[in-house]
């Protein structure tokens, strides 16, 4: 029975631990013939480290005292190879219960043991990778666990990075070679050596000793004495992050189970890298949201301050004027202050509307050939008084051969005015501002340079972002919403140009450079008219004005406070034109116009929407409702008159 049990090694030992019998299963498992092994010590099949600790003798002692000893450990065959043997040892007794030896039964469970170890290694690797925010820092620990199982001598971890304006592989972690040798292969091309080939093919590459000796990409590995190689790409969502390669100098190949373990390990590394990237992305987004929320709070505080500040002198001087105690000179001064602060508030609102249009992608341009010298001159006129008040010197240099550009003259003037007004605001008393218009082969270039407070290098990258100000504190020295440069950048980019800021640092001035593509040499005469001062002739024109706000009605004309009053007036007399508010109680401007259009078509009586609903959506809705023009409050008297005159003139031509 013992001889027929070929799957088990069954042999006996005497009390001195010498082999006394040996079945064919033992010969097959351990490699010794019966003639070779009889009389040999049982220690012959134990590993050196176990023999140093006396494991063979201890096993017999346990069997003798307890009746049985378990045997689960690595053993040594005749050829020196190891296997995981499991079984037990029991004492042998004769009929008189006299102990005269031991019987040992065991079988080879190396495959199961290795599978358990591979699973444990993979489990440990996964646990370690999930517990860290920097997976690549665990490479050495990971390698030490795998090398004991798979007899590994080297590993190379490359990551894809930019170098010389192209993606290359950068050696980030390694073991088994000197630092000097690592420097020689610190950067390799994708496709170079075996690691580069793994990156190029983006698939696992496994080679045995014969394949390595003949492969053109394996020369580096062969020079290191590598006899077995396995390389794996690190890919996240189709994007190559790098490669991870393992190599051995003591074995000639890796088994399929071992390559699967290495592949699974690399896959866990990829999952950990993806998790880290996701966590970093979430953290960055959280920081960005937090910063955006902070910017929003700062902006709302600044907006409230900037909108309220002009109201104080407006209301104050209005009350003084109402009392009628001011002499003519003081009266003129008060009116000028009221007008200046009202214009300032209107400018703030216009900037907000422009930013709203920009964010919605609805900022439009009225393009035509434009003479930039005229644009700059008009912008200079707008800042002239402010510059004189601070005793600033403004020098201009216009290239005599500067060509025109294709663009919106009004919007380009807005860009230059923003740059000039910033230069005036941030340049101290007696400073200097230089404005230069030149051209390159393909661009017209405007440069505004000042000797002002300069821009901190840390803030310079954010200078063109909307709602961003270098100083957002309540103690800040300079007003404004921080929108001007953001609007300027958008307008310049819509013209196909660029805008850039440069400053050596605090208190060292700043230079803003705008480049706009030149217009073709053949084309229309450039536009130099940036605005119209024509007020038109409104003689004998009957205008129906509808607004629930008394002050607004009296500003335009003294007429009707509600839609019902307007409809009653139309029944008595047909006006030449209608100017109506939108937001009114009981009947808004859209409902009013709908009833008017049932009686009077647009060709007979055009209509203007004059409203505080000033967004792009409101403008579109007004035009769709049947209004011919949309004007936003507040508005200059001249603009109202000009718009009315233009519509009435168009009506005459259509008639």
Q: What is the pLDDT of residues 624-644, one digit of tens each?
A: 888 888 887 666 666 777 778
- What are the CA-CA distances from residue 518 to residues 79, 364, 398, 511 (Å)? 85, 20, 15, 22
Helix/strand/coil for 269: helix
Is the model's pLDDT at 274 over the cut of 80?
no
Rounded to whole angstroms, the Cα distance separating 273 from 283 reads 15
CATH classification code of 114-280: 3.30.450.40
- Report the C-alpha dihedral over residues 272, 274, 275, 277, rounded to 10 degrees: 120
Q: Which residues contact 203 (CB under 8 A, 6 or more apart)?
A: 233
Bridge partners (DSSP) listed for residue 167:
162
Do the beta carbons of residue 478 and residue 491 sit within 8 Å? no
The confidence score (pLDDT) of residue 333 equals 87
Report the candidate in 404, 417, 423, 405 with the shortest Cα–Cα distance to residue 487.
417
Report the candidate in 392, 397, 394, 393 with the shortest Cα–Cα distance to residue 373.
397
**Angle at Cα 107 formed by Cα 101 and Cα 108, nearest 5°?**
135
Average pLDDT, the chain: 81
Q: What is the pLDDT of residues 413-434, one digit of tens each?
A: 889 988 998 899 899 999 999 9
The backbone torsions φ and ψ at residue 343, rounded to the nearest 5 degrees and listed phi first, read: -65, -35
Bridge partners (DSSP) listed for residue 578:
544, 607
Report the candidate in 530, 529, 559 with the shortest Cα–Cα distance to residue 544.
559
Do the beta carbons of residue 187 and residue 178 sit within 8 Å? no
Rounded to whole angstroms, the Cα distance separating 8 from 107 reads 5
The confidence score (pLDDT) of residue 161 equals 93
Q: What is the mean pLDDT of residues 366-373?
A: 86
Is the model's pLDDT at 533 over the cut of 60?
no
Rounded to whole angstroms, the Cα distance separating 590 from 584 reads 10
Report the candidate in 239, 246, 238 with the shortest Cα–Cα distance to residue 264.
246
Helix/strand/coil for 442: coil
The backbone torsions φ and ψ at residue 41, rounded to the nearest 5 degrees and listed phi first, read: -70, 145
Is the model's pLDDT at 457 over the cut of 80?
yes
Read off the DSSP letter of residue 366: -
Q: Which residues contact 83 (CB under 8 A, 6 or more apart)?
A: 29, 74, 75, 77, 108, 110
Is the model's pLDDT at 566 over the cut of 80?
no
Report the candidate in 254, 244, 263, 153 with the shortest Cα–Cα distance to residue 207.
254
Kind and range of the H or E run holding 318: helix 256-323
Q: Give the fold, CATH level 3, of 9-108.
A: Beta-Lactamase (3.30.450)
CATH classification code of 368-517: 3.30.565.10
Do the beta carbons of residue 577 and residue 650 sit within 8 Å? no
Helix/strand/coil for 332: helix
Q: What is the pLDDT of residues 150-160, one digit of tens each?
A: 788 998 989 99
Rounded to whole angstroms, the Cα distance separating 170 from 265 reads 21
The confidence score (pLDDT) of residue 348 equals 72
DSSP-derived pairing of the beta strands 432-439 and 393-398: parallel
Residue 384 burial (CB < 10 Å; 0-12/13-18/19+)? middle
Is the model's pLDDT at 558 over the cut of 60?
no
Is the model's pLDDT at 136 over the cut of 70?
no
CATH classification code of 543-654: 3.40.50.2300
Q: What is the pLDDT of residues 439-454, one digit of tens each?
A: 888 899 999 999 999 9
Is the model's pLDDT at 482 over the cut of 70?
no
**Domain residue limits, the chain:** 9-108, 114-280, 326-360, 368-517, 543-654
Q: Is the peptide bond before 413 cis (omega within 30 degrees of 0)?
A: no
- Report the C-alpha dihedral over residues 476, 482, 488, 490, rounded to 10 degrees: 150
Is the model's pLDDT at 39 over the cut of 60?
yes
Q: Which residues contact 654 (CB under 8 A, 6 or more apart)?
A: 603
Domain 9-108 identical in fold to domain 368-517: no
Work out whether the CA dihedral 413, 414, 419, 420 comes out positive or negative. positive
Share of the chain above pLDDT 90, in %: 29
């Amino acid at each position: 029975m013992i001889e027929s049990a070929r799957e088990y090694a069954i042999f006996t030992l005497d009390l001195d631990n010498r082999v006394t019998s040996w079945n064919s299963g033992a010969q097959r498992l351990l490699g010794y013939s019966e003639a070779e092994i009889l009389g040999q010590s049982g220690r012959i099949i134990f590993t050196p480290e176990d023999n140093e600790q006396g494991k063979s003798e201890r096993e017999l002692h346990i069997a003798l005292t307890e009746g049985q000893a378990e045997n689960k450990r690595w053993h040594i065959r005749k050829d020196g190879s190891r296997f995981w043997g499991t079984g037990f040892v029991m004492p042998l007794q004769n009929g008189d219960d006299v102990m005269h030896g031991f019987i040992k039964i065991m079988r080879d469970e190396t495959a199961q043991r290795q599978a358990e170890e591979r699973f444990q290694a993979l489990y440990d690797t996964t646990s370690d990778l999930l517990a860290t925010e920097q997976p690549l820092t665990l490479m050495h620990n990971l390698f030490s666990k795998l090398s004991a199982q798979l007899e590994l001598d080297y590993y190379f971890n490359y990551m894809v990075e930019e170098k010389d304006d192209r993606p290359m592989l950068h050696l980030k972690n390694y073991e088994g070679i000197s630092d000097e040798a690592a420097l020689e292969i610190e950067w390799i091309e994708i496709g170079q050596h075996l690691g580069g080939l793994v990156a190029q093919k983006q698939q696992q590459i496994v080679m045995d000793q014969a394949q390595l000796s003949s492969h053109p990409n394996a020369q580096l590995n062969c020079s290191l004495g590598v006899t077995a190689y396995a390389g794996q790409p690190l890919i996240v969502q189709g994007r190559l992050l790098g490669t991870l390669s393992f190599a051995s100098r003591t074995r000639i190949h890796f088994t399929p189970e071992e390559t699967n373990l290495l592949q699974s390990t690399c896959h866990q590394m990829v999952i950990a890298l993806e998790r880290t990237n996701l966590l970093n992305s979430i953290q960055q987004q959280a920081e960005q949201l937090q910063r955006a929320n902070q910017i929003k709070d700062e902006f709302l505080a600044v907006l409230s301050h900037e909108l309220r500040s002009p109201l104080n002198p407006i209301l104050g001087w209005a009350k003084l004027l109402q009392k009628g105690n001011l002499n003519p000179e003081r009266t003129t001064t008060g009116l000028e202050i009221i007008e200046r602060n009202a214009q300032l508030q209107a400018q703030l609102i216009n900037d907000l509307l422009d930013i709203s249009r920009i964010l919605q992608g609805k900022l439009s341009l009225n393009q035509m050939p434009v003479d930039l010298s005229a644009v700059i001159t008009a912008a200079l006129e707008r800042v002239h008084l402010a510059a004189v008040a601070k005793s600033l010197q403004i020098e201009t240099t216009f290239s005599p051969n500067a060509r025109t550009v294709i663009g919106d003259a009004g919007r380009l003037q807005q860009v230059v005015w923003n740059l000039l007004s910033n230069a005036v605001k941030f340049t101290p008393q007696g400073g200097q501002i230089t404005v230069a218009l030149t051209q390159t082969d393909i661009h017209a270039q405007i440069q505004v340079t000042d000797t002002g407070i300069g821009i901190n290098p840390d803030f310079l990258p954010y200078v063109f972002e909307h709602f961003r100000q270098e100083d957002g504190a309540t103690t800040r020295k300079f007003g404004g919403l921080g929108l001007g440069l953001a609007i300027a950048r958008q307008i310049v980019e819509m013209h196909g140009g660029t805008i850039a800021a440069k400053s050596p640092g605090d208190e060292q001035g700043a230079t803003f450079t705008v480049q706009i593509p030149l217009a073709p040499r053949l084309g229309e005469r450039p536009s130099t008219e940036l605005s119209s001062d024509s007020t038109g002739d409104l003689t004998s024109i009957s205008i129906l004005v509808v607004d629930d706000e008394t002050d607004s009605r009296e500003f335009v004309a003294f007429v009707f406070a509600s839609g019902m009053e307007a409809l009653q007036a139309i029944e008595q007399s047909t006006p030449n034109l209608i100017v109506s508010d939108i937001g009114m109680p009981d009947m808004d401007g859209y409902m009013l116009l709908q009833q008017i259009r049932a009686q009077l078509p647009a060709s007979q009586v055009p209509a203007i929407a004059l409203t505080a609903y000033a967004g792009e959506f409101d403008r579109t809705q007004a035009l769709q409702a049947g209004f011919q023009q949309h004007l936003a409050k507040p508005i200059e008297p001249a603009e109202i008159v000009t718009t009315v005159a233009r519509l009435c003139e168009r009506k005459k031509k259509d008639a």
